[in-house]
Amino acid sequence: MNIKRVPTGIVGLDALLQGGFLPNRSYLVSGDAGAGKTTVCLQFLLNGLAHGEKAVYVTVDERPADLLQSAASLHWDLQKHVHDKNLVLLDASPYFSGRAGSTSEKSVDLTRIISDLSGFAKRMNATRVAIDPITPLFLSSDSIVHIQENARLLIHLIQSQLTTTNLLTAQLPSRSNHDLTGGIEEFMASGVFILGLSQRNGQFFRTLCIKKMRGTAVQPAELPFKIVAEQGLVLDGHLPQPVAG
- CATH code of the domain containing 76: 3.40.50.300
Residue 117 structural domain: 22-191
* Structural domain includes residue 122: yes
- The answer to whether the CB of 162 falls within 8 A of the CB of 117 is yes
Query: What's the pLDDT score for residue 32?
Result: 85
Average pLDDT over residues 141-163: 81
**Per-residue pLDDT tens digits for 127-144:** 999 999 988 887 655 566
The answer to whether position 233 is within a domain reads: no
Assess if residue 232 is contained within a domain. Answer: no
0.85 exceeded by the pTM?
Answer: yes
Sign of CA dihedral 118, 122, 124, 128: positive
Residue 92 lies inside a defined structural domain of this protein: yes
Asked whether residue 10 is assigned to any structural domain, the reply reads no
Q: Is residue 65 part of a domain?
A: yes
Q: Express the helix, strand and coil content of the chain in percent, nearest 5 each.
A: 35, 25, 40
Q: Do the domain assignments include residue 67? A: yes
Peptide bond just before 133 cis, omega within 30 deg:
yes
What mean pLDDT is reported for the chain? Answer: 84
Residue 162 has pLDDT above 90, yes or no: yes
Give the count of alpha carbons within 13 A of 121, CB side only: 24
- Look at residue 181 in the predicted model and tell me its pLDDT: 54
Lowest mean pLDDT among 114-123, 130-139, 142-151, 210-219: 142-151
Bigger pLDDT: 73 or 239?
Answer: 73
* pLDDT computed for residue 96 by the predictor: 75
What tens digit of pLDDT does each residue of 26-66 get?
999 999 888 999 999 999 999 999 999 999 999 998 899 99
At residue 6, what are phi and psi to the nearest 5 degrees?
-105, 110
* C-alpha atoms less than 13 angstroms from C-alpha of 111 in its C-beta half-sphere: 0
**Is 148 inside a domain boundary?**
yes
Q: Domains in the chain: how many in total?
A: 1
Strands 55-59 and 87-91: parallel
Helix then strand count (H, E) for the chain reads 7, 9
